[in-house]
Structure 1
Amino acid sequence: MRFPIRLLAALSLALSTILSAPAWAQAAAPVSAQPYAAPDRELMVPVEGGRVYVRVNGVIGKGATPVVFIHGGPGGTHDGFAAMLGLADERPVILYDQLDSGRSDRPNDPANWRVERFVSELESIRQALGVDRWHVVGHSWGSAIALEYAARYPEHVASSVLAGTYISTPRWIADANALLTELPKPVQATIAACEGTAPPPASDCDAATEVFYAHFNRREPASPELIAYVRNIGGHGFNPVIYNAMWGPSEFRSTGSLKDYDAVPLLARIDGARTMFLVGQYDEARIDTVQDFARQTPGSELAVVPGAAHGMITDRPIATEAILRGWFRRHDGE
């Protein structure tokens, strides 16, 4: 397939960022600006339904425009984003766990599991930190929150990055089933049986799904640094209760509250010139689909992380950081 000119420009920018960073950026970064560094500040922010854990590297009000990362799931954690803390050599980096995830409160109240509440949660964090405008990076389910936030609070958004782009359940399910056809026939048959009325043992289903994940979800094992970070940061980790309630038990169909979710119409309401779609070369969010999203967002850009799957941040952290670093620099003053 052919990549659009804007995609090629984004990849060129990423490469130039790596090769020609200014001398001050090439110097050793402070401890708090290293991947998986300890936070400079931690707090529990009150939101509807409880309190959420927030960590900051860098000083808000100093340096360039802050960036906030929104994790996937629902029910995931901020942990994978800790690989991007090197960006704190230029700007404050804000990570957080959504309510019912990670180190945040875990009331497990279904009344809290509404898209609009997750969007308001992000706005509560902005207000608590005293941030005027920030770059908003959402990954997977976090892309939906980022898109909804950009449409509702454009005055506070310097730019939006919709990474591993999930913004439509029907499109996501269609992509997952299209990608299944690229796997060996026995794996396809097992997954089809697992979705049927008389599924095989759970161990067979898990093994077949793991083949899918190894191709399209993450292509590299967790690094020792990430494993150590997860151990040190603590908290309760991933929450399968909220995942099953909002999405469902299977990657290939949704039975939860998000089963009919489709935020594609919001693309026409955001500033395309300040929007980037970011996917891995082998992403579950298929490039063809995300290109269609970009076409519906005039002026937007699409970047692909070579060699990465859905988890591009942990698959290819250096390339991902380079793309983000260049994007943020270009949109700091807008």
Structure 2
Amino acid sequence: MIARTLVAAALALVPLTAQAQDTALPTNTAADWSVATSEHRIAVEGGKVWVRVNGVIGQGQAPVIIIHGGPGGTHVNFGNLLSLADQRPVILYDQLDSGMSDRPENPANWRTERFVAELEAIRKALGVDRWHVIGHSWGSALALEYAAAYPQHTVSAVLSGTFISAPHWITGTNLLIRDLPDDVAATIRACEGPTPPAPEVCEPATAAFYAAYNGRPDRPAPSPAAIAYRKRYGGKGFNATVYNAMWGPTEFRASGSLGTYDATHLLARVDGTRILFVVGQYDEARIDDVQDFVALTPGAELAVVPGGSHAFIAERAEVAEAIYRDWMNRKDASETGK
């Protein structure tokens, strides 16, 4: 579920609200990875999270917040979606214990409801009334949970690279293992068994799974801007401790606190006409499974990114952007009655 500093020295921190601080930054061009309109450290349960905004809240169409995967991932894979800021504010953030945010590493914070409350704290601190929430992988679960809990603040929710059920995910990844070459599949099964082979045997087989379903060999190389952004804004990066505690050691086995997580019941509680599922053609979130989720969400839509894996936002950036842009524009239009 893994979706795997500026001119700040010259700028002073000024209060945004009682729970946040704001750093004003120069206005940027929408496609620039490196420059935000503003940066914030927002108080949430357990610490403060780092948030960046491209655009001005209250100007343009409804804002969108991008919710990264993991658990324990960061926002850095989504910088290319800043191009959406030509129409609306784009909000990126790192969840508590990852990236640029505080890293208390307190297991008491590693609860789904706290991560959902984190989103709501960001909304309040930024003064957003209604926004679009785009969640990727583990972020899909948070987007769905948020849309169900706060429909009055949700224009739409996008469940991208969809993870909303651990049992479905584990079944799906094990079916995908079956489709790998026989020797690779046998090695993965052995590595997931009670007496696994040595890491030098297991790691290449796991890498083969990722090459098929989460970062395909034909993916474009990162742009110089993306590489520079990662160096500047990667913070402390991915937090494997959170990932292992909440999920487990691999994508194929959920031994952590999310092992029994299943939010499919929430699909009946949300307005399906405001839910979009998006997956890559070769996604580890299997199309067959996601179609079942769509069937449980009357009025929902499904988009498939041709040639994309679970990392389709980076692999097929223009297609992903076009899907998100069209969807949000249509939902904005329906909200205003146009």
TM-score with structure 2 setting the length: 0.89
Give the superposition deviation at 1:251: 1.4
Partner residue of 1:172? Answer: 169
Is the counterpart of residue 216 in structure 1 residue 196 in structure 2?
Answer: no
Q: Distance in 2 between matches of 1:104 and 1:285?
A: 27
SS of the aligned residue for 2:29 comes to: helix
Q: Distance in 2 between matches of 1:92 and 1:314?
A: 20
Is the counterpart of residue 314 in structure 1 residue 311 in structure 2?
Answer: no
Given candidates 140, 144, 148, the residue that maps to 1:143 is: 140
Give the letter aligned to residue 281 of structure 2.
Q
Partner residue of 1:16? Answer: none
Partner residue of 2:97? Answer: 100
Given candidates 81, 84, 88, the residue that maps to 2:85 is: 88
Give the superposition deviation at 1:222: 4.8
Partner residue of 1:156? Answer: 153
After superposition, the C-alpha distances for 1:174-213 in whole angstroms (9 at most, x for unaligned) are 0000001111111111111111122111122111111000
After superposition, the C-alpha distances for 1:257-281 in whole angstroms (9 at most, x for unaligned) are 0000000000000010011000001
Residues 40 and 66 from structure 1, CA distance in 2 versus in 1: closer, same or farther, beyond 3 angstroms? same
Partner residue of 1:237? Answer: 237
Partner residue of 2:23? Answer: none
Give the letter aligned to residue 85 of structure 1.
L
SS of the aligned residue for 1:166 comes to: coil
After superposition, the C-alpha distances for 1:252-301 in whole angstroms (9 at most, x for unaligned) are 11000000000000000001001100000100011011011001000000
Give the letter aligned to residue 72 of structure 1.
G
SS of the aligned residue for 1:99 comes to: coil
Is the counterpart of residue 202 in structure 1 residue 202 in structure 2?
Answer: no
Number of matched pairs? 305
> Is the CA contact (8 Å cut-off) linking 1:32 and 1:58 kept in structure 2?
no
Mapping for residues 66-145 of structure 1, pairs under 5 Å:
66-145=63-142
Q: Distance in 1 between matches of 2:92 and 2:221?
A: 19
Q: Distance in 2 between matches of 1:242 and 1:234?
A: 17
Q: Distance in 2 between matches of 1:279 and 1:73?
A: 17
Partner residue of 2:14? Answer: none
Give the superposition deviation at 1:234: 3.8
Q: Distance in 2 between matches of 1:36 and 1:187?
A: 38
> Is the CA contact (8 Å cut-off) linking 1:69 and 1:94 kept in structure 2?
yes
Partner residue of 1:275? Answer: 275
Moved more, 255-264 or 228-237: 228-237
Partner residue of 1:24? Answer: none
Give the letter aligned to residue 241 of structure 1.
T
Is the counterpart of residue 253 in structure 1 residue 250 in structure 2?
Answer: no
Given candidates 34, 47, 51, the residue that maps to 2:48 is: 51
Let me know the Cα RMSD of the aligned residues: 1.1
> Is the CA contact (8 Å cut-off) linking 2:28 and 2:37 kept in structure 1?
no
Q: Distance in 1 between matches of 2:252 and 2:142?
A: 21
Residues 218 and 270 from structure 1, CA distance in 2 versus in 1: closer, same or farther, beyond 3 angstroms? same
After superposition, the C-alpha distances for 1:129-184 in whole angstroms (9 at most, x for unaligned) are 00000000000000000000000000000001000000000000000000011111
> Is the CA contact (8 Å cut-off) linking 2:272 and 2:299 kept in structure 1?
yes
Q: Distance in 2 between matches of 1:43 and 1:193?
A: 46
Is the counterpart of residue 331 in structure 1 residue 328 in structure 2?
Answer: no
Q: Distance in 1 between matches of 2:329 and 2:194?
A: 52
Percent of aligned positions that are identical? 62
After superposition, the C-alpha distances for 1:52-111 in whole angstroms (9 at most, x for unaligned) are 000000011101110000000000000011110000001000000000000000000000
Given candidates 177, 184, 190, the residue that maps to 2:187 is: 190
Give the letter aligned to residue 31 of structure 2.
Q
After superposition, the C-alpha distances for 1:211-237 in whole angstroms (9 at most, x for unaligned) are 000110111265133222101214100
SS of the aligned residue for 2:174 comes to: helix
SS of the aligned residue for 2:56 comes to: coil
> Is the CA contact (8 Å cut-off) linking 2:284 and 2:310 kept in structure 1?
yes
> Is the CA contact (8 Å cut-off) linking 2:190 and 2:196 kept in structure 1?
yes
Q: Distance in 2 between matches of 1:173 and 1:126?
A: 32
> Is the CA contact (8 Å cut-off) linking 1:35 and 1:84 kept in structure 2?
no
Greater helix fraction, Structure 1 or Structure 2: 1
Partner residue of 1:305? Answer: 305
Uncovered stretches (5+) of structure 2, i.e. residues with no partner = 1-26
Give the letter aligned to residue 159 of structure 1.
S
Shift >4 Å, 4+ stretches: none
Q: Distance in 1 between matches of 2:138 and 2:63?
A: 21
Give the letter aligned to residue 274 of structure 1.
R
Give the superposition deviation at 1:35: 4.8
> Is the CA contact (8 Å cut-off) linking 1:222 and 1:314 kept in structure 2?
no
Partner residue of 2:13? Answer: none
Give the superposition deviation at 1:31: 3.8
Residues 324 and 268 from structure 1, CA distance in 2 versus in 1: closer, same or farther, beyond 3 angstroms? same
